[in-house]
Amino acid sequence: MEIKEFTLSGGRLVKLICFKEIISTNTYLKNEANNGAPEYTVVIADRQSGGRGRLGRSFVSEEKCGLYMSLLLRPVEDFDFTSLTAIIGISVNEAIFDVFGLTCGIKWVNDIIYKGRKVCGILAEGALKDNGALDYAVIGIGVNIAPPADGFDASIKDVAGALCKKYSDEIRDRLARSILERINLNLSRDKASLLKRYRDMSCVIGKRVKVITPSLTYFAAAEGIDSDFGLIVTKDDGSCDVLRYGEISVKM
């Protein structure tokens, strides 16, 4: 393990903990958070042996392919978790443009899509205080920078994509830095400005989607993003719904 410190524009101090291999940067950082680690503690691993995704899935995290990073935030009392999640998607999207010059889209809730393929997944995990307010959030970001030498794992090969052909630690570290800069900046924006950015980046509006919730699955038309970053859909029977959690699948 190696520990470094640096400051973001505006003076925010980052404590960066780097591992060659770890089970999951999110799991490690949640443990640190429970032990009082300060916000902007960041963990990066070259490889994860048990990378976790949303909805209990695993996240394939091979060496020399991607950025596997978790960030600890301790938002102010009334900060809402949905805005925080949106900020991360927006920030990753902007950082990809900064570093690679590529324009990606956000597939609700927070998958980053390039040329119809998922290049980044985000896992935001929160812990609450006794009074129900958000104590901390651990934001896990997994970006496929380049494809593995022998191709993506069979479990993801039909959906996964990458941002460039050749991985380097230098590109990964630049991307990590840019994501942190963008998050730090976007955290100070008002909700209206975040909504505009998130809506502009959405790649599902106007598309036919399959909605997958824990209890049911149905087809619908994605109409827009509501004022709390929910996805507005019209079902085939003409009724409207606003999705607050769950997942959609969509042909890109």
What is the binding site for ligand BTN (CB under 6 A)?
24-26, 48, 51-54, 57, 59, 61, 68-70, 121-123, 140-142
CB of 108 to ligand BTN, least distance (A): 13
Residue 241 to residue 234: CA distance in whole angstroms: 6
Q: Is 229 exposed, middle or buried (0-12, 13-18, 19+ CB in 10 A)?
A: buried
Closest-CA residue to 111 (of 147, 74, 160): 160
Residue nearest to ligand BTN (CB): 121
Residue closer to ligand BTN by CB (options 159, 221) is 159
CB of 211 to ligand BTN, least distance (A): 17
Query: How many C-beta neighbours within 10 Å does residue 115 have?
Result: 11
CB of 54 to ligand BTN, least distance (A): 3
Query: How many C-beta neighbours within 10 Å does residue 130 have?
Result: 6
Residue 42 to residue 172: CA distance in whole angstroms: 14
Residue closer to ligand BTN by CB (options 51, 75) is 51
CB of 232 to ligand BTN, least distance (A): 23
The one-character DSSP state at 109 is: T
What single letter denotes the amino acid at residue 15? K
Closest-CA residue to 125 (of 99, 88, 179, 78): 88
Residue closer to ligand BTN by CB (options 53, 230) is 53
Residue closer to ligand BTN by CB (options 26, 202) is 26
Residue closer to ligand BTN by CB (options 116, 206) is 116
CB of 67 to ligand BTN, least distance (A): 8
